[in-house]
Amino acid sequence: GAGVSQTPSNKVTEKGKYVELRCDPISGHTALYWYRQSLGQGPEFLIYFQGTGAADDSGLPNDRFFAVRPEGSVSTLKIQRTERGDSAVYLCASSLGVWETQYFGPGTRLLVL
Amino acid sequence: DAKTTQPPSMDCAEGRAANLPCNHSTISGNEYVYWYRQIHSQGPQYIIHGLKNNETNEMASLIITEDRKSSTLILPHATLRDTAVYYCIPGSGTYKYIFGTGTRLKVLA
């Protein structure tokens, strides 16, 4: 079946701009996660959704980052006033339930100039 | 959360078994060990997970020591397409996977 999809695959923006990154989880998966991966590092947790609510956003680096999942399926990660340090690969994962195996999408490569 | 130690890199000849070790000496009794891999420019791919018993699936085998302080992922017949970074992730059922820096496996022709 279809896996997790993320759009766009690449995003180039200028410092100070606003960006939105989209994640389509596997159908029927109630849990959704966002991670960020810097060059040469493993992915780091940002936020977790169970259904429509953000159950844990402790990994978001600051208040410029925000994520929503209004209907319990698609999620959008929003970054305001982007900075060069936000450049990274943003990964989305979903799982059947919170204690289940996470399946990752291909990621969105964000470059802030 | 359990801490993990993996060798930073390993080479393996094509067609031979690749044995990737992971030390997770601080793992607690109810924590599974998950293995993922990440091929260049792709998202992490789930391989296998286990709690106490050895596990095998179509991709790999997972050997967990009796004291559960370490595990080994075995790719029985490595191919060039297995070249990737392999992550060992102890999970307590937590949703916060902690990846570390993994082992960069290079399969040589």
Categorize the per-residue pLDDT at B1 as very low, low, confident or very high, splitting at 50, 70 and 90: low
Mutate to test the interface with A, among B37, B38, B95 (most CBs of A within 10 A): B95
pLDDT above 60 for B99:
yes
Q: Which of B34, B42, B99 shows the shortest C-beta gap to A43?
A: B99
pLDDT in tens, B4-19: 899 999 999 999 999 9
Chain-wide mean pLDDT for chain A?
95
CB of B21 within 8 Å of any CB in chain A?
A: no
pLDDT above 90 for B42:
yes
Tokens of A58: 């402790």
pLDDT in tens, A23-77: 999 999 999 999 999 998 999 999 999 999 988 999 999 999 999 999 999 999 9
pLDDT in tens, A67-108: 999 999 999 999 999 999 999 999 999 999 888 899 999 999
Tokens of A67: 């994520």
pLDDT in tens, B28-41: 777 889 999 999 98
Categorize the per-residue pLDDT at B25 as very low, low, confident or very high, splitting at 50, 70 and 90: confident
Q: Single out the residue of A86, A69, A75 nearest to residue A18, CA to CA.
A: A86
Q: How far is A44 from chain B (nearest CA, A)?
A: 7
Cα dist from A2 to A25, A27, A28, whole Å:
9, 8, 11
Categorize the per-residue pLDDT at B92 as very low, low, confident or very high, splitting at 50, 70 and 90: low
pLDDT above 70 for B93:
no
CB of B97 within 8 Å of any CB in chain A?
A: yes
Q: How far is A70 from chain B (nearest CA, A)?
A: 20
Spatial separation of the C-alpha atoms in residues B24 and B71, rounded to whole Å: 8
pLDDT for the residue numbered A7: 97
Tokens of A2: 């279809």
A35 to B49: CB separation less than 8 angstroms, yes or no: no
Q: What angle do CA B6, B10, B13 make, to 5 degrees?
A: 145
Q: Which residues of A have a CB under 8 Å from any CB of B?
A: 4, 31, 33, 35, 40-45, 48, 56, 59, 91, 93, 95, 98-99, 101-107
pLDDT above 60 for A9:
yes
